[in-house]
Amino acid sequence: MGGGSRPGTPGGPKTEPSSASTVSDASELKIGAKAFFEKDGEIRQAEILSIRDMARRQNIQRSAEDKPIERDEDNHLEYEFYVHYVEFNKRLDEWVPQARARLDKPVLFPKKKNKAPHAAPQQSARDKRRKTNAGTAIATATPSTPQTPDAARHDDSVYTATTAADTFSKEKEIEKLRTSGSMTQSTSEIARMKNLNVIEMGQFQVEPWYFSPYPIEYSYTPVLYVCEFCLCYYDNRTQYTRHRGKCALQHPPGNEIYRKDDISFFEIDGRRQKTYCRNLCLLSKCFLDHKTLYYDVDPFLFYIMTKRDDRGCHIIGYFSKEKESAENYNLACILTLPQYQRMGFGRVLIQFSYELSKAEGKVGSPEKPLSDLGLLSYRTYWSEVVVEHLIGFDGEISIDGLSRLTSFTTQDIMHALFNLDAVRYYHGQHCIVLSERVIDAYERFRNKKHRKIDPSCLKWSPKVFSQAELRYL
């Protein structure tokens, strides 16, 4: 699941805009400047993140510190700008030709802040005081006030990504991945330019939303071809066609644990199928902004949802789950591929994760923070299931009772109830009251056709891993 609703722009030196000025030529636009560009018939302000030569696309300026783009022998140069539209999601970032730049509008140029002259010596002194006996520095942070459950139940900051730009460390992220399953990283590291133009999978061509760490030789190619069965990738159609003639896979390389109609689920161990799971993570990173990937797939189980036809089982989406979660997370990462979105498959993935929790006899919750789309999907699912149980229940029921029926955590249930505005204080105690608006919305939902998981078709038993199997080094 992607980051917050409006992720920031790439990290770098902190800048502040100067007074607006006008330019007469596109060559005067610089990286970091905020200019106006035409987009879908509208004029939108956008920040320039990179500049390149439209004819010679390898001739590119990626940062303000790089040397300017050189002109060709004919002294001709037509610019192309990679822009981030202000107040819009990063998935809309794109390359735009200079013809779409509105030079008649004012431009805000960045101005670097002056650093405090004594900041570096003070930091160095602090580092010296933090030396351990082994001679390494200890990274510390200012402790924050603990958040009580009552305050967190209706606080979206618990569920969404934070915007603090902490120092990025690959070692710390890998250690966090091993110990707590967290796959989030600093926003300054993830907020980079998209490196792929189009991905072709089977009969679909999709445009990536975010950066994904594919090998550099596959980046910036017109089309990246991905086999929809083994997820191997190629930058050449001839190589891809040759591979498709030899690829023997017709379904994900795992155990089929669910089948009903044309929908199947496959369980894959990241330790046994490393190549497939790494390719899956590379693909999913194109559509998830706040996930990181260091090829460490051993701690996870992957559940792949597919749609069957006469040619095989085609991947629709997936979710991953820790083999051993200290926080009782039942889901680490979830994605429905863009070509299958808005068809109800995201809800099926979420429901399937809770069916596994019910089979384990546990309550579960997705790993926090959730992306913007992930939070909307989960909030809708929690609300629908909670209202369904409340309307169909005769008698009294507590939050703990709802938790046992749904396998939701009490915190997630309270989040859903506060979102529905269903918690009331009456005669000295809290009670749940469903308004007519909520009941009408549920009736409309129930009258629609929805894909659902049939628990009787699930052929699965909880995995038990030994200490040796949980040792990833």
What are 40's two structure tokens? 């879908």
Q: Which residue carries 């805009």 as its tokens?
A: 17
- pLDDT computed for residue 154 by the predictor: 54
Q: Which residue carries 């629609």 as its tokens?
A: 448
Split at pLDDT 50, 70, 90, the class of 472 is: low
How far is it, in rounded angstroms, from Cα 344 to Cα 448?
A: 11
Nearest to 399 by CA among 55, 391, 389: 389
Residue 283's alpha-carbon distances to 81, 192, 225, in angstroms, are 25, 16, 11
Please confirm, yes or no, whether 256 is among the known catalytic residues.
no
Reported as a single tens digit per residue, the pLDDT across 171-223 is: 554 454 444 333 334 444 444 688 888 999 999 999 999 989 899 889 878 89
What own/partner pairs with CB < 8 Å and gap ≥ 24 does 169-174 have?
Answer: 170/294, 172/139, 173/292, 173/294, 174/294, 174/296
Asked if 170 contacts 294 with a C-beta cutoff of 8 angstroms, the reply is yes
Of the candidates 228, 322, 355, 367, the residue annotated as catalytic is 367
Reported as a single tens digit per residue, the pLDDT across 213-252 is: 899 889 878 899 999 999 999 999 999 999 999 999 999 9
How far is it, in rounded angstroms, from Cα 373 to Cα 346?
A: 10
Q: Which residue carries 């991945």 as its tokens?
A: 177
Strand 365-366 to 329-331 pairing: parallel
How far is it, in rounded angstroms, from Cα 107 to Cα 117?
A: 31
Reported as a single tens digit per residue, the pLDDT across 76-101 is: 678 889 999 998 888 889 989 989 99
Reported as a single tens digit per residue, the pLDDT across 299-345 is: 899 999 999 999 999 999 999 999 988 888 999 999 999 999 999 99
Reported as a single tens digit per residue, the pLDDT across 3-41 is: 433 444 444 444 454 567 888 888 888 888 999 999 989
How far is it, in rounded angstroms, from Cα 361 to Cα 407?
A: 8
Q: Which residues contact 264 (CB under 8 A, 6 or more apart)?
A: 251, 256, 258, 305, 306, 308, 313
Nearest to 423 by CA among 389, 414, 409: 414
The alpha-carbon radius of gyration of the chain (Å, integer) is 25
